[in-house]
Amino acid sequence: MKPYRQRRQRKPLTLKVKYFDKEIPKLEKFETGDWVDLRAAETIEMKQGDFKLIPLGVGMKLPKGYEANIVPRSSTFKNFGIIQTNHYSVIDQSYSGNEDQWFYPALAIRDTVIQKGDRICQFRINKKMPKVEFVTVEKLDGINRGGLGSTGTK
Ligand SMILES: O=c1ccn([C@H]2C[C@H](O)[C@@H](COP(=O)(O)OP(=O)(O)OP(=O)(O)O)O2)c(=O)[nH]1
C-alpha cells in the first residue's frame, strides 16, 4: 500500500490559461492552495481620481462548477495608491471566450504609475453557489437581532 501522504494526494484541477501578452511571466505550473498573484499587462499611468480597467494579461477556462475571485494584494494600496472598485471580483465560469481577458477595476487615490508586470492583485477559484430556490413568505421565524451594531464594540 502507498504511504498515507501519497494516498491523500488528489489530481490537481486543470485551469486552461490564455496569455494575452507574451512578455508577462506565465503562472507557475502547480499551485498548492495559496492565492495566485496576477500582474498588470500594460504600464498604466493614472492621475488622482482616475478609474481604469487594468488588463491582467490572462483569460481562463475554469473547471466546471467553479468561479474565480480577485482581491487586491495587501501591499497594493501602499505600493500603487489604487483601490479595487468592485472590492471582490467574480469571474464567472462562462467568461471563457477567446477575447475574455481578466481585468482589474482600479480607482487611483493619488497620481500613480503601475509598470507592466507589476503584481497588483491575487486570485483563487471557489466552488459556485449551489442551485437555490426563492420562496416568498409573510414572516421569518428567527429572533430579531436589534439592528446593525447591536452587539456593541467591546
Ligand atoms: O473585476 C472583474 C470583474 C469581472 N470581470 C469579468 C469576469 C466576469 O465574468 C465578467 C462580468 O462580470 P460581472 O458579472 O461582475 O459584471 P456585470 O457588471 O454584472 O456585467 P455583465 O452584464 O457582463 O454580467 O467580467 C473581470 O475581468 N474583472
Burial class (CB in 10 A: 0-12, 13-18, 19+), 38: buried
Q: Tens digit of pLDDT for each residue in 77-98?
A: 999 999 999 999 999 999 999 9
What helix, strand, coil percent values describe the chain, rounded to 5?
A: 5, 35, 60
Check pLDDT > 90 for residue 6: no
Give the span between the Cα atoms of 75 and 7, in whole angstroms: 38
Of ligand 1's listed atoms, the one at least distance from the Cα of 92 is 9
46 lines ligand 1 (CB under 6 A): no
* Residue 10, pLDDT score: 78
Q: Tens digit of pLDDT for each residue in 29-72?
A: 988 889 999 999 999 999 999 999 999 999 999 999 999 999 99
What's the ipTM? 0.96
Q: Tens digit of pLDDT for each residue in 96-125?
A: 999 999 999 999 999 999 999 999 999 999
Distance set, CA 79 to CA 13, 42, 74, 83, 148 (Å) = 32, 17, 10, 11, 34
* Residue 94, pLDDT score: 96
The three cell numbers of residue 46 are 493614472
Give the span between the Cα atoms of 58 and 101, in whole angstroms: 5
Rounded to the nearest angstrom, the gap between the alpha carbon of residue 111 and the centroid of all alpha carbons in its chain is 24
Of ligand 1's listed atoms, the one at least distance from the Cα of 101 is 27
70 lines ligand 1 (CB under 6 A): yes
Whether residue 141 lies in the annotated active site: no
Which residue has the CA at smallest separation from atom 24 of ligand 1?
92
Residue ranges in the chain assigned as alpha helix (H): 4-8, 76-80
Q: Tens digit of pLDDT for each residue in 133-154?
A: 999 999 999 999 999 999 999 9
What residue has cell string 498573484?
37
* Residue 7, pLDDT score: 55
Which residue has the CA at smallest separation from atom 2 of ligand 1?
89
- pTM value is 0.91
Active-site annotation holder among 21, 34, 50, 92: 92
